[in-house]
Chains A and B, each alone.
Chain A
């Protein structure tokens, strides 16, 4: 078999591999390699995630991090502060680890005894719980400065995606939008849609395209996977996903799902209790703060607002705590989606 035939045969097997979407059953090294290559990450994913992380890193306050000296202390270690425990000998007598242990335990017991008294006298008991409820849904207007849903795509055109409007939002996307249609006889006839809550409305026109693009020449954009844009996905815009805009995944702007109709609730996987404010503790003030927020498709909390305030600094404490929470995101058709929920934080003194 010559090289040409070999290349032809290998490609036929690779094509079959794509159809099966599985690893090959035959022990052919190059075919196994091909199967592994199909799992390589997309370049744009690596870069987009890096950008996301850097944006998030910038938003973290430097003050929250250990000082240089403190970081150095636990990162690099210090001279041995417990020579007895490590059996280092500094004096004439041999070091005995039992002495260290006895001393440590007796001091720990004393500290615990004192701390328990202080705690019993002053410590507030705080409980939080999550109420998932349907809140009023209000999509952001076009051009909002902080859209979070997003989409993109394209067909590797040399030109930027052209100007136009997106098709309707739908819970399912049977066909991605395209300005330049490559296949004149598609196997499945379906109207193009973008993924997002069906009641999310954006301006409609006869010309599909990216709302914010200045280009008027027809182009699907320089991205990939068949939508309209310069990144990746089956949506429209400068983002990644099947929605519209510069963000990620489905929806646009505040294109957030409500619960029900196949949308599952997010649940907290990391939910530290809030602190009590000094002002409220002194006044022995109790109350329940109701927060409205969005758990995005990555499980992070955003767009927190106080739906029911109790004052005395407790609203701020509730927000401060909930900002740190991490969720397993809500799901729709097996994909994580942004979901609006409300969280009630109960402050109680016992």
Chain B
């Protein structure tokens, strides 16, 4: 039942974007985490993953009108573009694309976990979320975060520990 509803959602969002490009925003919001997770597991830096993600969505927007519904979810089409973008990226870096691509199929579970992790961060308590984003995404030191929040460094370390424990619990201890 859930799959049927998702298909129906996909179809109506795609149809809307094909008729009115500005409606592509809904497809972007729905699929951003998955496309980003695809690259985050395969490249070495956040900047690379962000650049490649941007490339996928630009290409998808440019060719959304050519998309034909064949029963597969929209994300499968995006993954196709992503694999192509990644292949070109590796080629430019002089990597052996065939060897690298051979590992792609085995990473589905890890990608889903990355998506879950991004969503789990959103559900943290505000102060825990703040610490996680500043510490890991902005890569600030404990001291800097403590100064920002007007709290002791020890308190921030405790918040960091609690946030990580909560995230692990939300992911069902899979990490």
Contacts and interface: CB of A to CB of B under 8 A. Distances in A.
A337 B164 CA distance: 38
B22 A40 contact: no
Interface in A52-101: 52-54, 56-58, 60, 62, 64-68, 71-72, 74-77
Contacts of A225: 138
B22 A29 contact: no
Contact of B50 (A41, A60, A77): A41
A177 interface: no
Contact of B136 (A3, A38, A67, A331): A38
Q: Which of A57, A224, A300 has the most CB of B within 10 A?
A: A57
A54 to B, nearest CB: 6
Contacts of B50: 41-42, 45, 49
Which of A33, A52, A74, A331 has most B Cβ within 10 Å?
A: A33
Contact of B168 (A33, A43, A300): A33
A37 B69 contact: no
Interface string B50-75: 11011101110110010011000000
Interface stretch (A5-13, A190-198, A309-317, A339-347): A5-13
Q: How large is the interface on B (under 10, 10 to 19, 20 to 34, 35 or more residues)?
A: 35 or more
B19 A56 contact: no
Contacts of B123: none
Contacts of A42: 46, 50, 137-138
A299 B53 CA distance: 13
B11 A76 contact: yes
Nearest to B167: A33
A37 B49 contact: no
A112 interface: no
Contacts of B165: 30
Interface in B14-33: 14-15, 18-22, 24-25, 28-29, 32
A54 B24 CA distance: 8
A4 B167 CA distance: 19
Contacts of B57: 49, 53
B161 A298 contact: no
A7 B160 contact: yes
A328 B58 contact: no
Contact of A328 (B11, B40, B92, B164): B92
A53 B175 contact: no
Given A45-B50, A57-B61, A269-B88, A36 B114 contact: yes
Contacts of A66: 18-19, 65
Contact of A38 (B25, B46, B161): B46
A272 to B, nearest CB: 12
Interface in B73-93: 88, 92
Contact of B24 (A53, A74, A299, A336): A53
Contact of B154 (A7, A32, A67, A224): A7
Contacts, number: 158
A62 to B, nearest CB: 7
A282 interface: no
Interface in B119-165: 121, 132-133, 135-139, 142, 148, 154, 157-158, 160-161, 164-165
A75 B14 contact: yes
Contacts of A336: 51
A3 B15 contact: no
A65 B19 contact: yes
B17 to A, nearest CB: 8
A33 B114 CA distance: 10
Contacts of A76: 11, 15, 69
Contacts of B20: 62, 65
A64 B121 contact: no
Interface string A299-330: 11000000000000000000000000010100
Given A8-B157, A71-B18, A77 B24 contact: no
19 contacts: A14-B135, A14-B160, A29-B173, A32-B175, A34-B136, A34-B164, A36-B117, A38-B139, A40-B137, A41-B46, A41-B49, A54-B25, A57-B61, A58-B21, A60-B21, A60-B61, A65-B65, A156-B148, A328-B92
Given A36-B117, A62-B19, 4 more contacts: A6-B161, A34-B164, A40-B117, A49-B28
Please give me the 5 A-B residue pairs with the lowest Cβ-Cβ distance, nearest first: A57-B21, A37-B136, A7-B157, A7-B161, A71-B18
